[in-house]
Chains A and B, each alone.
Chain A
Amino acid sequence: KNEVEQSPQNLTAQEGEFITINCSYSVGISALHWLQQHPGGGIVSLFMLSSGKKKHGRLIATINIQEKHSSLHITASHPRDSAVYICAVSKGGGADGLTFGKGTHLIIQP
């Protein structure tokens, strides 16, 4: 079983819809990261969080440490949000670099 699980694997939605991507992990962590990868490979760090909630523009990330679960929300989705969203964790003690989920492929149709 993977240490970081994401759902759904694929998501297609209409422009304007509210999007939720989920991430569950099974190891102790020092932080959880949400990353965005566009076609061509470039990866951008969206959030790094260890508790609570963070908001940046139309993006919101939450984490529940007790339940080992995080969600990434996109409000008023737009076709430019189409990308692969990847959840990753930094394990406790800073060991082993980042451990990644398989990613969620999001397509927003106009």
Chain B
Amino acid sequence: KAGVTQTPRYLIKTRGQQVTLSCSPISGHRSVSWYQQTPGQGLQFLFEYFSETQRNKGNFPGRFSGRQFSNSRSEMNVSTLELGDSALYLCASSFTPGGGEQFFGPGTRLTVL
């Protein structure tokens, strides 16, 4: 079974731009969660999607948004990028929603200049 894939793996943007990251879950997994990892804050939960619906959202501003498609692939979007958005963005898929065993992708490293 193929693992979780994320594209792109690396991205460099400038302040004020927007970015879209993509995540393809393991086949059969309908839950996709997104996380942000920074040296200062560690790993933080962004949001979770299940069956195309946002189930939960972490404590992030509205500039962070996401969606899930009928094939369970998910995208997250960050608008009006700030320097502090530089981070590793990880997605994880699971068979069941709400914090079940999670399978992580390799992450997208975003650098905002």
Number of chain A residues close to chain B: CB under 8 A: 26
Known A98-B33, A103-B42; contact A31-B99, beta-carbon cutoff 8 A = yes
Query: Does A105 lie at the interface of the complex (its beta carbon under 8 Å from any beta carbon of B)?
Result: no
A9 to chain B, nearest CB (A): 11
Q: How far is the CA of A45 from the CA of B35 in the complex (A)?
A: 15
Assess whether B88 is in contact with A30, with CB atoms less than 8 Å apart.
no
| Partner pick for B88 among A33, A41, A98, CB 8 A cutoff | A41
CA of A91 to CA of B26 in the docked complex: distance in angstroms?
Answer: 24
State the Cβ distance, B64 to closest chain A Cβ, in Å: 13
Interface size range of chain B in the complex: 20 to 34
A110 CB within 8 Å of chain B? no
Residues of A within 8 A of B58 (CB): 96-97
CA distance A62 to B98 in the complex (A): 22
Task: Report Cα–Cα, A91/B48, bound state, in Å.
Answer: 14
Main SS of the interface on chain B? strand
B32 to chain A, nearest CB (A): 11
| Chain B positions 86-101 with a Cβ under 8 Å from a chain A Cβ | 88, 90, 92, 97-101
State which of A40, A41, A43, A94 has its C-beta within 8 Å of the C-beta of B99.
A94
A interface: dominant SS:
strand
B25 within 8 A of A: no
B104 touches A102 (CB 8 A): no
Residues of B at the A interface (CB closer than 8 Å) are 33, 35, 37, 42-48, 55-56, 58, 88, 90, 92, 97-104, 106-107, 109
Could you list 5 examples of A-B contacts with CB < 8 Å? A30-B99, A41-B106, A97-B47, A97-B58, A100-B43
Closest 10 CB pairs of A and B: A94-B98, A90-B99, A97-B45, A43-B104, A100-B43, A41-B107, A48-B101, A102-B42, A41-B88, A97-B48
Further 14 A-B residue pairs, CB within 8 A, beyond A94-B55, A97-B45: A31-B99, A41-B106, A42-B107, A43-B104, A45-B102, A90-B98, A90-B100, A95-B98, A96-B58, A97-B46, A97-B56, A97-B99, A98-B99, A98-B102
